[in-house]
């Protein structure tokens, strides 16, 4: 009896030692390989056993410390559809796999790996439009480039997703696409379009910044805040964006974006500093058509503060921006965008009846990971509600930092996707 019992125990221990093919690959397929496949943003592929095996120790470390998958929202606040955090049992499985010798297992256990079509994460697009030229980037500084290209659409189209795909991931740091009607028009999210700002701006080639002696407004929520450009209301957001770690723009079910006939696409691309070698790029966007008009057109409002000043040496310098809802809106997602010096950001909502909630808190903001936080369920926010965005910055430099395109300068931007709560039976665009 005793012996049989022992054998049974040893047998079950052996059977419970996880293998790559049976236990770990399904987790990697679901949680890791969208970045960890050949020629994407991550340094190694986790699709095949050999390449994953070589990284076993650092995989253990990265999942135990929750460095991977990247996710920065404080779990105390909000629920997010794209929450990337691994479940406890997934972490346990990966840990046990590594501790058990990172075994491959039975080849019959290996599930079918997700397919990656020529680098398009969303599969083959219906329409692909690129920047229209092969752009050559010299060594050295950051560059901000604009490319305006025709869609040649003779009729308008509803799109359900847009995947902005960098041509050269070594140099494309982030990119946006605006819809414009002529090649001389600057899209709504570009600084060139923000005419009332002109007197406060300094242009440095194609890079722009707010001048050091422009008015300073760190707390744009203060009752006595002067009426500076863009500190109230919002601006219409871009069609699509590419940011490190951000998943492609897939519009929520029942929504779509409208691209009118004759629209031109303005690509705004931030090329980050490159080393000695000259690099080329040909970035493109893949458009995915919706099957018909949506119940609700998707919109994005961008909230910014251009007038903060982060004093030299300041630790945890606070900057705020407020927005009062001018009508009811159904919120879908939030994307904070700052640069290297941002330390945290938080979104507080106070409804007309006084109820307060934190929509999103990112206690350790990281410029290298610019994630979109998609709300688990669309959130109805009533007219008159007040949204406060609070950011803190650390400035270890001997000079003050103001708003600017360069990564070493700062931004304070939030993109919020929303739809009208009313379903549109007869659509007004
Ligand atoms: C959103 C894209 C993305 C996802 C999802 C993701 N990774 Fe990564 N991973 C990266 C990138 C980019 C790097 C390299 C930059 C870095 O280390 O921050 C990286 C680095 C790593 C490293 C090296 C860490 C180090 O310290 O050098 C490991 C190990 C790793 N990932 C494991 C995983 C595992 C395991 C998962 C899934 C459970 C995962 N990653 C999910 C993008 C991703």
Q: What is the CATH number of the domain that holds 238?
A: 2.60.120.230
| Bridge partners (DSSP) listed for residue 266 | 148, 178
Is residue 236, in this structure, part of any structural domain at all? Answer: yes
- Which of 25-29, 291-295, 392-396 bottoms out in mean pLDDT, i.e. has the lowest? 291-295
Predicted TM-score (pTM) of the model is 0.89
Nearest to 230 by CA among 40, 11, 412, 28: 412
Round to whole Å and give the CA distance between 210 and 367: 20
* Residue entry with tokens 């909000």: 78
- Give 118 or 290, the one with higher predicted confidence: 290
Round to whole Å and give the CA distance between 297 and 418: 9
What's the count of helices (H) and strands (E) in the chain, helices before strands?
5, 23
The reported pLDDT for the residue numbered 5 is 42
Burial annotation 56-91 (CB, 10 A radius, 16+ → b, else e): beebbebbeeeebbbbbbeeebbebebebebeeebb
Measure 114 CA to ligand 1 centroid, in angstroms: 18
Residues 96 and 138 reside in one and the same domain:
no
- The answer to whether 226 and 217 have CB atoms below 8 angstroms apart is yes
Measure 145 CA to ligand 1 centroid, in angstroms: 29
Residue to substitute in 25, 26, 36 for testing ligand 1 pocket (most ligand atoms within 8 angstroms of CB): 36
Round to whole Å and give the CA distance between 121 and 138: 29
Last residue of a domain, one of 74, 109, 144: 109
Query: What is the number of residues in the chain?
Result: 429
> CA 14, 17, 22: angle at the middle one, nearest 5?
120
Round to whole Å and give the CA distance between 133 and 173: 18
Residues 69 and 149 reside in one and the same domain:
no
Residue 12: which pLDDT band, with cuts at 50, 70 and 90?
Answer: very low
151-191: pLDDT as tens digits: 999 999 999 999 999 998 888 988 999 998 866 666 666 67
The reported pLDDT for the residue numbered 188 is 65
Round to whole Å and give the CA distance between 184 and 28: 46
Residues 175 and 49 reside in one and the same domain:
no
Is residue 23, in this structure, part of any structural domain at all? Answer: yes
Question: Cβ < 6 Å from ligand 1: which residues?
Answer: 31-32, 34-36, 41-43, 55, 58-59, 62-63, 68-70, 84, 86, 245
How many domains, the chain?
A: 2
Is residue 2, in this structure, part of any structural domain at all? Answer: no
The reported pLDDT for the residue numbered 273 is 65
The reported pLDDT for the residue numbered 355 is 98
185-236: pLDDT as tens digits: 666 666 776 778 889 999 887 788 999 999 999 999 999 999 999 999 998 8
Question: What range defines the domain where residue 404 resides?
Answer: 127-419
Residues 149 and 91 reside in one and the same domain:
no
């Amino acid at each position: 009896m005793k012996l049989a019992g022992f054998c049974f125990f040893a047998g079950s221990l052996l059977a419970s030692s996880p293998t790559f093919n049976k236990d770990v690959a399904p987790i990697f397929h679901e949680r890791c390989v969208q970045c960890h496949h050949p020629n994407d943003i991550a340094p190694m592929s986790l699709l095949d056993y050999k390449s994953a095996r070589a990284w076993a120790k650092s995989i253990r470390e990265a999942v135990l410390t929750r460095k991977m998958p990247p996710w920065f929202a404080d779990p105390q606040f909000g629920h997010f559809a794209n929450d990337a955090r691994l479940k406890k049992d997934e972490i346990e499985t990966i840990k046990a796999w590594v501790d058990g010798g990172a075994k491959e297992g039975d080849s019959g256990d290996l599930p079918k790996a997700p397919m990656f079509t020529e680098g398009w994460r969303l599969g083959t697009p219906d329409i692909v439009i690129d920047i229209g030229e092969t752009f050559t980037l010299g060594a050295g500084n950051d560059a901000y480039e604009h490319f305006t290209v025709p869609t040649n659409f003779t009729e308008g189209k509803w799109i359900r997703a847009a995947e902005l795909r960098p041509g050269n991931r070594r140099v494309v740091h982030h990119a946006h696409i605006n819809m414009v009607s002529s090649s001389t028009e600057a899209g709504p999210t570009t600084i060139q379009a923000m005419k009332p700002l002109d007197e406060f701006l300094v242009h440095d080639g194609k890079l722009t910044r707010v001048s050091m002696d422009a008015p300073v407004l760190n707390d744009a929520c203060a009752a006595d805040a002067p009426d500076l450009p863009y500190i109230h209301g919002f601006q219409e957001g871009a069609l699509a964006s590419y940011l490190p770690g951000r998943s492609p723009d897939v519009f929520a079910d029942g929504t779509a974006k409208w691209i009118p006939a004759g629209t031109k696409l303005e690509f705004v691309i931030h090329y980050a500093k490159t080393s000695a070698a000259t690099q080329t790029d040909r970035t493109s966007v893949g458009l995915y058509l919706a099957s018909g008009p949506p119940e609700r057109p998707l919109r994005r409002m961008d909230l910014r503060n251009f007038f903060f000043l982060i004093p030299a040496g300041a630790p945890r310098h606070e900057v705020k921006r407020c927005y009062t809802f001018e009508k009811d809106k159904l919120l879908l997602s939030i994307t904070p965008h700052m640069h290297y010096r941002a330390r945290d950001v938080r979104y507080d909502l106070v409804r007309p009846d006084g109820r307060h909630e934190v929509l999103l808190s990112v206690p350790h903001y990281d410029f290298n990971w610019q994630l979109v936080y998609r709300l688990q369920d669309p959130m109805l926010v009533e007219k008159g509600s007040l949204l406060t965005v609070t950011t803190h910055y650390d400035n270890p430099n001997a000079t003050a930092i103001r708003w600017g395109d360069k990564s070493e300068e700062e931004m304070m931007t939030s993109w919020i996707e929303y739809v009208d709560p009313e379903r549109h039976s007869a659509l007004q665009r």
